[in-house]
């Protein structure tokens, strides 16, 4: 409905009359085979989807006796499919992929939706429905699609008490209190939405959560959730607090090399698998931001990860070990610690360990260069961690489409094996031939009626799933698909609304953290500007640590004369940044401390450019509102008003950012704001 609960699965009637006519001619019967929970979902989804889109009930049948049969199933369960001569495309689809093919069977036009597994058929079903939702032709279909990445996951930062760390969409959707007896319809709808974009794993607990979820009463609840998710092809994972053997096991130590600790984990894992036979594995945050870990016992991250990996290997589980580590023992440049800790461990991790690396070395900034670990650990599968929830990008009030941010990282060249060694090729395993690959997004989902708070935040969940499946899809395509399914196929709407989305990330960078500035948000909550804060006990939590503004200039010198974090990149990657004169200006203040009167490519001084960026960004934020207002005729009242109000807040925030940063930095530059930017009032 209009409240956004249906996400991109609205299945509104096809508006284009000619297309509707052709769809109706080509879709007359649904033929499914095999009886299982997954195939029931396929059947229902086709019925509901087609009924909504075509406004007519499509019969279920068993034989092809007229044009327009939609035949969905695996070759194993469907003789129609196994006899259709599609073995070669099916082979290309692999274990999770699908084919959608137009075929003549018994002299009748049919469409086959197939995969080698029922999960593949399910993904194919959603893809087929998406073709109709986005008003594509379904003549001569010849689609073969296989995911480029094996683990396509959401990481929930949800605590057992239902608060969500960095969540801006209400409380956790997991109601531990009423589980396992009560299955909220939301769990089912969540699974369905994820399956529709190919997500196949979910970590339901926060990386900072305590160990309670590993206790027996909670494992019963976890089992209930796993049973809901399974038919949708989604495995459940849990965070494993490293000190669990002490917290809930009564041991005196959590030392990974201690036999009693190893035994405790072996037994705990055995217990988990009695509840969830296809349990995915653990996600671990260790020795980071105060979390316990192997270094507490002078052991390495590999010692910790391998201990868990050995215990879980007999059950085919995996360990996802996070590389987001920094500590105040390393006050010079937090940028460097993950690389320093992990690169020496390359080649020592067990085959069922993935190291999960954030897209950049600091922390999910509006814009940051790719993390230097990508390409630097060739013997270890590195998994991408993106943040879908907008911790540093305006949180719940800002319209920011994140596909361009994700793509920017994925397309960055690490040069680790020469030109073209992109981050995407590192994480999809193609560069170093790793079979185990993954991409995760920190979820932006809560119990708000529309799931994600801001109506446009749904697009970021959607983008994560689509890119995990195929990182070559463009931001433009993702925005277009999502808008068509979620709002309207009207070309006038699409033109303006997709521009709104595609420019949004650049706009927030401009009015909050331009020219490579970073981490100057309010401390701890990270909402709004606070570049002046310098009172945190940990130096690397102070914005001043990152911008280093003084009378001589602004920016963090990470070259050889500074922290030398640049040395962590390959020479060819380093080259684009290491010289202040030629550095890509997007990252200028990320890597250099630059004099206020430095000549920018625009001809302006750095100070004038900074003013230009902040003023232009804030002005563009204002124009977003005008664009949205022009789209009122195409959008239902409720969602129109929601977005309208939020854009107004965002504009106010943009002005707040601009004024706060310009006035604060001016205390160092001591230069005037160019007259053309001075606004009346
Ligand atoms: C950020 C975030 C924390 C989170 C941490 C992490 O620092 O602010 O809330 O716990 O990332 O990724 O572990």
In this predicted structure, the answer to whether residue 680 has a pLDDT above a threshold of 50 is no
Is the complex ipTM higher than 0.95? yes
Cβ contact 124:81 at 8 Å: no
| Total domains in the fold of the chain | 3
Helix (H, G, I), strand (E, B) or coil at 30: strand
The two structure tokens encoding residue 529? 């500007």
Residue 394 belongs to some domain of the structure:
yes
Q: What is the mean pLDDT of residues 169-188?
A: 98
Residue 588 belongs to some domain of the structure:
no
| Same structural domain, 274 and 192 | yes
CATH number at residue 328: 3.20.20.80
Binding site membership of 279 for ligand 1 (Cβ less than 6 Å): no
Q: How many angstroms separate the CA atoms of 358 and 322, rounded? A: 8
User: Of all protein residues, whose CA lies closest to atom 2 belonging to ligand 1?
Assistant: 166
Residues paired with residue 393 on neighbouring β-strands, in sequence order = none
Domain housing 643: 514-556+593-677
pLDDT, tens digit (0-9, with 9 covering 90-100), for 85-131: 999 999 999 999 999 999 999 999 999 999 999 999 999 999 999 99
Give 486's DSSP letter: H
In this predicted structure, the answer to whether residue 679 has a pLDDT above a threshold of 60 is yes
Q: How many angstroms separate the CA atoms of 586 and 584, rounded? A: 5
Residue 564 belongs to some domain of the structure:
no
Binding site membership of 402 for ligand 1 (Cβ less than 6 Å): no
Return the closest-CA partner of residue 554 out of 598, 604, 593. Answer: 593
- CA 207 to ligand 1: nearest atom: 13
Domain boundary among 123, 145, 167: 145
- CA 285 to ligand 1: nearest atom: 13
Paired sense of beta strands 69-73 and 29-32, if any: parallel
CA–centroid distance, 362 to ligand 1, in Å, is 11
Residue 430 burial class via C-beta count within 10 angstroms: exposed 0-12, middle 13-18, buried 19 and up: middle
CA–centroid distance, 460 to ligand 1, in Å, is 19
In this predicted structure, the answer to whether residue 331 has a pLDDT above a threshold of 80 is no
Q: Alpha-carbon dihedral of residues 188, 190, 195, 197, nearest 10 degrees?
A: 160
Q: What is the mean pLDDT of residues 612-618?
A: 97
CA–centroid distance, 15 to ligand 1, in Å, is 44
Residue 292 belongs to some domain of the structure:
yes
| Same structural domain, 319 and 336 | yes
pLDDT, tens digit (0-9, with 9 covering 90-100), for 495-528: 999 999 999 999 999 999 999 999 999 999 999 9
Residue 457 belongs to some domain of the structure:
yes
Task: Provide the CA 583 distance to its chain's centre, in angstroms.
Answer: 29
Q: Which residues are catalytic?
A: 289, 363, 391
In this predicted structure, the answer to whether residue 665 has a pLDDT above a threshold of 90 is yes
Q: How many angstroms separate the CA atoms of 72 and 85, rounded? A: 15
* Res. 681 pLDDT band, cuts 50 70 90: very low
Which pLDDT belongs to residue 306? 98
Binding site membership of 207 for ligand 1 (Cβ less than 6 Å): yes
Domain boundary among 145, 175, 196: 145
CATH number at residue 70: 3.30.379.10
pLDDT, tens digit (0-9, with 9 covering 90-100), for 43-69: 999 999 999 999 999 999 999 999 999
| Same structural domain, 140 and 166 | no
Query: pTM higher than 0.90, yes or no?
Result: yes
| Same structural domain, 521 and 410 | no
CATH number at residue 654: 3.90.1330.10
Binding site membership of 208 for ligand 1 (Cβ less than 6 Å): yes
Pick from 163, 391, 441, 523 the residue to mutate for probing ligand 1's pocket: most ligand atoms within 8 Å of its CB.
391
Which pLDDT belongs to residue 330? 66
Domain boundary among 126, 145, 164: 145
Residue 506 belongs to some domain of the structure:
no
Give 416's DSSP letter: B
Binding site membership of 284 for ligand 1 (Cβ less than 6 Å): no
């Amino acid at each position: 409905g209009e409240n956004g609960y249906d996400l991109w699965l609205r299945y509104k009637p096809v508006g284009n009359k000619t297309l509707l006519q052709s769809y109706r001619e080509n879709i007359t019967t649904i033929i499914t085979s095999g009886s299982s929970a997954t195939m029931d979902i396929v059947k229902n989804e086709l019925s509901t989807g087609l009924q909504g889109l075509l406004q007519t009930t499509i019969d279920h049948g068993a034989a092809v006796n007229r044009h327009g049969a939609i035949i969905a199933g695996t070759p194993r369960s469907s003789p129609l499919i196994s006899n259709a001569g599609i073995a070669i495309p099916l082979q290309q689809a692999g274990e999770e992929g699908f084919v959608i093919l137009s075929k003549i069977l018994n002299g009748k036009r049919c469409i086959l939706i197939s995969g080698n597994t029922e999960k593949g058929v399910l993904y194919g079903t959603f893809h087929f429905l998406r073709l109709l939702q986005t008003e594509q032709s379904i003549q001569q279909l010849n689609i073969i699609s296989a995911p480029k990445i094996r683990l396509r996951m959401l990481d929930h930062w949800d605590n057992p008490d239902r608060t969500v760390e960095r969540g801006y969409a209400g409380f956790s959707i997991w109601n531990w209190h009423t589980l396992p007896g009560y299955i909220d319809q939301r769990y089912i709808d969540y699974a369905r939405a994820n399956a529709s974009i190919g997500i196949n794993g979910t970590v339901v607990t926060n990386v900072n959560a305590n160990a309670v979820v590993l206790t027996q009463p909670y494992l019963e609840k976890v089992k209930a959730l796993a049973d809901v998710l399974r038919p949708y092809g989604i495995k459940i994972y849990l965070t494993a607090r490293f000190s669990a053997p002490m917290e809930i096991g009564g041991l005196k130590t959590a030392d990974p090399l201690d036999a009693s600790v190893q035994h405790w984990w072996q037994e705990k894992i055995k217990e988990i698998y009695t509840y969830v036979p296809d349990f995915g594995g653990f996600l671990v945050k260790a020795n980071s931001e105060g979390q316990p870990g192997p270094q507490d016992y002078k052991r390495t991250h590999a010692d910790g990860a391998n201990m868990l990996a050995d215990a879980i290997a007999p059950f085919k589980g995996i360990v996802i070990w996070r590389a987001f580590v920094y500590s105040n023992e390393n006050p010079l440049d937090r940028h460097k610690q993950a690389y320093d800790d992990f690169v020496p461990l390359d080649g020592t991790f067990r085959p069922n360990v993935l190291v999960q690396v954030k897209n950049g070395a600091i922390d999910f900034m509006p814009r940051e260069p790719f993390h230097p670990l990508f390409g630097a650990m060739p013997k270890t599968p590195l998994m991408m961690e993106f943040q879908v929830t907008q911790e540093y990008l305006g949180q719940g009030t800002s319209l920011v489409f994140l596909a361009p941010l994700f793509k920017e990282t994925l397309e960055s060249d690490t040069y680790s094996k020469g030109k073209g060694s992109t981050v995407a090729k590192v994480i999809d395993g193609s560069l170093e031939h790793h079979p185990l690959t993954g991409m995760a997004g920190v979820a932006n989902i809560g119990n708000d009626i529309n799931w994600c708070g801001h109506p446009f935040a749904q697009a970021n969940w959607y983008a994560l799933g689509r890119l995990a499946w195929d990182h070559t899809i463009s931001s433009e395509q993702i925005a277009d698909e999502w808008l068509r399914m979620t709002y309207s196929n009207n070309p006038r709407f699409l033109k303006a609304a997709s521009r709104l989305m595609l420019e949004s990330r650049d706009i927030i960078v401009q009015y909050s953290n331009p020219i490579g500035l970073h981490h100057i948000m309010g401390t701890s909550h990270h909402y709004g500007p606070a570049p002046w804060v310098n009172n945190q006990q940990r130096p690397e939590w102070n914005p001043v640590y990152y911008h280093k503004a003084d009378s001589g200039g602004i920016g963090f010198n990470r070259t050889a004369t500074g922290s030398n974090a640049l040395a962590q990149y390959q020479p060819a990657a380093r080259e684009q940044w290491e010289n202040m004169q030629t550095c890509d200006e997007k990252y200028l203040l990320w890597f250099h401390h630059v004099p206020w009167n430095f000549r920018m490519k625009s001809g302006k001084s750095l100070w004038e450019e900074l003013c230009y960026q902040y003023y232009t960004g804030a002005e563009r934020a204002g124009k977003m509102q005008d664009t949205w207002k022009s789209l009122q005729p195409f959008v239902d009242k409720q969602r129109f008003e929601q977005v309208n109000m939020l854009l107004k807040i965002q504009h106010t925030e943009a002005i707040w950012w601009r004024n706060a940063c310009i006035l604060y930095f001016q205390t160092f530059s001591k230069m005037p704001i160019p007259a053309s930017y001075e606004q009346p009032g």
